[in-house]
Each structure stands twice: as C-alpha cells, then as structure tokens.
Amino acid sequence: MDYSITKFLWTLLGLFIVTNWGMLMSSTIRRIGARVSGRIGIPWYQPWVDLTKLYSLKSQVSHGTMFYLGPVFRLMGGVGLFLFLPMIFGSWHWSNYSFSGDLVLILYFQLFGMLGMALGAGEGGHPYSTIGVSRGLAQFTTIEVPMTLAVISIAIQYHTLSISQIVAAQQGGFFTWTVWTNPFATGAAMLSLLGAFGHSPFNLIQAPNEIPIGPPTEYHGVFLGFLRTNNAILHVAEAALFMNLFFGGATNWIELIVKTFLIYFWSVFVGMVFPRFRIEQSVRWFLKIPTLLGILAIVIFL
C-alpha cells in the first residue's frame, strides 16, 4: 500500500482511539466529581449516548455562516493538534505527522480553536456574546503567557523545537524527565494547564449551573456534537503534549492512558477544591506566579 495512505489510516486509527479515550475519561471524571458531592453520577457510556443523539439532530436556528463555522474551527483546532503530535515514542505508526518544528505549529493550533469560537460567537444572536468573547480571549491570552515561556525554556534546554527529540532526551530514566531537570518550566506549564482545561476555578467563561447561555445552549445538534467531540480529542491531545514535554512521553498506549489521565486529573482535583475566580482574578493570577516561574525557567538556561 502507498506510504501516504498507510500513514493516513494509522493516524485515523489513532484519532479514533484518542476520541474514545477522551470520552471515557470525561465520564470517569464526572463520576468521580459526583461521588465527591455524594451522588452516583452518570453511566460510563453516557458521552457516547449524548454524541449519538446530537449528531442525529438538526439545528432549527440560523445566525449566519460564521456562527456555524465556529464549532468547525474549534474541532479543527483539536484535530490539528493531534495530527502533528507524536503519541507513542519510537513508533512510526503513532508518530502522526510530526516534524522537526512541530512544537511551534502545535502552539498555533491551541489558539486556532479559541479564535474560531470567538468569531462564531461574534455572529450569535445573544446580546451578551461579545462579553463572553472578551472574557474568553482575556483569560486565554494570560494562560498562554506562562505556557509559552515554559516552552521557550524547554527549547533552550534541549536545543530543539521537535517534540520527538524532546521526548528522546528524557529517555534516560525517571529522573531525566523535564519535571526534574527543569522544575520551573514544569511548574509554569502545569499551572497554565489548569486554565487550558477549563475546570474550576477558571471556568467562569461557561459558568456551568449558573448562567444559561454560552456554547452548550447557543449551539444545537451536529454543531454541539462538534464541540463535544473536540473536547474529547483536545483534552487527551493537550495532556499528551504535556506528557511529551515534561513527563518523558509514552512508549505504549497503556503508559499514555495512565499518564494522560493523571495529568488531566490534576486539573479536576484543583477544581474540586477551589471556588471559581472572576475573570480579573484569574488574569491577575496567571500573570503572577505562573509567569514568574516561566521567566525564571528561561533565565536559568540562558
């Protein structure tokens, strides 16, 4: 079989695995949260039921082309991040379309989905959609500051912008992981990850259970299905990115599943403990300790 077709089929299989693992991880986390609150929680298969229902429905509301391109751009951001992210170290089948400068491209894909949703919300029918856009972009911009500083520090440390080479440099054992060799960059990145995953205390943009507006209610049917699918892919892909940069990568799928779950659970644990921040509070928070750690990480390796 032709090389490009074979590569595409293996990548498609990897996307299928990541999507289903993301949905299973989502239902598991929701059950854990329910148990903490003294409830039973949803069945483990609920995300698949919801997704099947959403993709079978058609939206009866029209706000213009850009409004419905927002979820498409959001999904493309998650899928694009996965496509250029090596999942299993040393495996040609699961390296996807990674290349020597893939780290830079992946950072752009993290921003791509957010900007697409901002453009879509700008054409929505709700009078407060622009407030949501400004909230989301303000918080996301400050999240990117410590994250970018951490990535720059890692690039200086390992002298490369290739994720595969960064993972290769951590293959000497547990204490060669970046979390030990560059703890300041790891601290900055893991704190910024709390905002990237969107759990409490940094989830005011959606404000679940309090504000009956936002993407879950503005979008319907297939378009909401796109957003749910993107959440499943994006959470695993972002956790896998942090796994590759700071925790030695993964040499098999079992290791990837365990590490991505623990990385994702870090944000869930914090969300269970701390109450929600206002936008100005979260902006100030990200520009203090996480940014300071990112600056220190760069200074140390200069």
* Highest mean pLDDT: which range of 55-59, 129-133, 166-170, 263-267: 166-170
- Asked if the model's pLDDT at residue 141 lies above 80, the reply is yes
Compute the average pLDDT of residues 185-214. 78
Q: What is the pLDDT of residue 17?
A: 94
The per-residue pLDDT for 288 is 92
Sign of CA dihedral 34, 36, 37, 40: positive
pLDDT in tens, 38-88: 888 889 899 999 999 988 887 666 677 778 888 888 888 889 899 999 999
CA distance 99 to 253: 21
CA of residue 234 relative to chain centroid, distance:
4
Angle CA 74–16–52, to nearest 5: 70
Average pLDDT, rounded, for the chain: 86
Q: What pLDDT is stored for residue 84 in this prediction?
A: 92
Residue 208: per-residue pLDDT: 58
Q: Which position has the higher pLDDT, 124 or 100? A: 100
Q: Structure pTM?
A: 0.90
> What average pLDDT does this structure show over 169-198?
91
Task: Give the pair of three-digit tokens for residue 152.
Answer: 């720059």
How many other CB atoms sit within 10 Å of the CB of residue 49?
Answer: 11
HSE, CB side, 13 Å, CA atoms: give it for residue 211: 15
**Could you tell me the pLDDT band of residue 195, with boundaries at 50, 70 and 90?**
confident
